[in-house]
Amino acid sequence: MRTYLITFFLYLFITSIHAQFPGGIYLDEGLQHVSMQVDRINAQLQSIGHTAQKLGNKKQLDSMLRQVVDQSTLQLEDQVLLTFNYNADGQMTLHEESWLNPVNGWRVRLRIENAYNGLGELSETKVSRIDNGVFTLVERFEYVINNNLVDEVIYSEYLNGWELKTKTYFTYDNQGATTEQLVHEYINSQWEPARKLNHYYTSTDKPDKIDYFFWNNGQWNQNFFREWTYDSQDREVLELFKYNANVFINKLETSYNGNVTTTEYSEDHSGSWYLYYFLRHHVSADSLTHWVDNIHPNYATLDQRDFYYYDSINNLIGTDSYTYDMYPTYTTRKQATMHYNDTVPFNNLVLPDDHLGYMLWEFSDYTFRHQRLLDSVFLNTFVDNFLGVHTYSWSDVSITTNNEAVSPTSLMIYPNPASELLTLELPGLEPATIEFYNSIGQLVKAADIVDNRVVVSDLAVGWHVYVVRQGDLMYGGEVVIR
């Protein structure tokens, strides 16, 4: 989880670098891209060992059809089809993105091919795109993996053949968190050091500092720093980005007041802070409604308000977005409604691998970041009089444990969601244990079940997979912690 946070802040860093130094000093987008890939791959690697413990009916996502209709003319304006192929272990081997050409029919415009080694670890990814009207190979990523962590990523581009571009090495601490990223560039037929990032963490495993170095004249020069500050409850209150340790570039300040979180992003303009945006995030008392207010930084007036609606098991079921010309007068920007078929738990879904991040424009918070994503989801978005519908197609897949088929085994648990104690209706009196895994497959708690109960107040809020072991029996399911 720490590496995921670092990736997010790395993205902010690169964005701000491009804004402050256009065409000048930067950490290129390739480093950002590779860093995000590694975070996603490492999360997948950590969950491989738990795949066999996910019991119940499984469904794999085969395709998603995105259709856009002009509501004034009722004409179909755009259609995009995403398709996915998997191997016997449920790993994505091929992804194609196609669009409907009015003259030539469906045409592929993006293809991603994944290869795996004998241990089931990702070893290579090739990307093909439409380039100047011709479908051709454009990128290749090669991965070296040790102890379920990516040690090395080699990036190549296809021009008149494969040309080596960058090689990124990753170093980790004993908890699997990134401590150093070292980038080499392929220059004059040899690898030359180019830049590196050193990561530091607090005693509670949160980001503390990142130092950015660039290789120049045979030595490392430290150019940028990013630092974090936390309050007594270990909540982030300040993030600073500095140049050469003395010149401020931007800052992110966060304050908390009950169910309201305020975020202010400011940039340094010639020694004075300029407030760039101002957000307030509200959560209703029942946690079923969230809304975010975008406040105009100069006039302290409401510019935009976005609502997010959730059901009792934390599915996002709808959104509303409004733009305010002058409060309380508003214009509806977009609305969305999601529908679920509540028959298959999230942890029993086979979903496509998006470690490159090329599919996130389609697979946004509306879909794969819910506690449950089931047989079909429809997204209705009203923007400029357009209606968008996303339709998902699923198919049944077999369940394997150590390559042997197993039968689904159910277990009654309550309450769900839970906050303090979880009660389990176990058969017989034989001792039993329970394990809890977070959303990326990491074991977060293991305990004995005493009197058919287990304490869950020490688990983080959100969705968890549980595995119960009693003698030769094993039960699996999911629970939401509030």
Query: What is the DSSP pairing of strand 386-397 with strand 58-70?
Result: antiparallel
Q: Which residue pairs, CB below 8 angstroms and at least 24 apart, start in 316-324?
A: 316/365, 316/366, 316/370, 319/366
pLDDT digits (tens, 9 = 90+) for 372-398: 344 344 444 444 556 667 777 777 775
Nearest residue to 283 via CA among 261, 301, 302: 261
CB atoms within 10 A of CB 452: 12
Task: Please say whether the beta carbons of 186 and 166 come within 8 A.
Answer: yes
Give 253 or 105, the one with higher predicted confidence. Answer: 253
What is d(CA 49, CA 88) in angstroms, rounded to the nearest whole number? 16
Residue 30 has pLDDT above 70, yes or no: no
- Residue 349 parent element (H or E): strand 349-350
Q: What is the pTM of this model?
A: 0.69
Phi, psi of 71, deg, nearest 5: -70, -25
Q: Which residues does 339 contact at the CB level (< 8 Å), separation at least 6?
A: 376, 377, 378
Percent of the chain with pLDDT over 70: 73
Q: Which domains does the chain have, with CATH numbers?
A: 2-401 (no CATH), 409-481 (2.60.40.3080)
Query: What is the DSSP pairing of strand 443-448 with strand 453-455?
Result: unpaired
Query: What is the DSSP pairing of strand 349-350 with strand 58-70?
Result: parallel
Phi, psi of 14, deg, nearest 5: -65, -40
DSSP letters for 205-244: S-EEEEEEEEEETTEEEEEEEEEEEE-TTS-EEEEEEEET
List the beta bridge partners of residue 404: 401
pLDDT digits (tens, 9 = 90+) for 231-245: 999 999 999 999 876
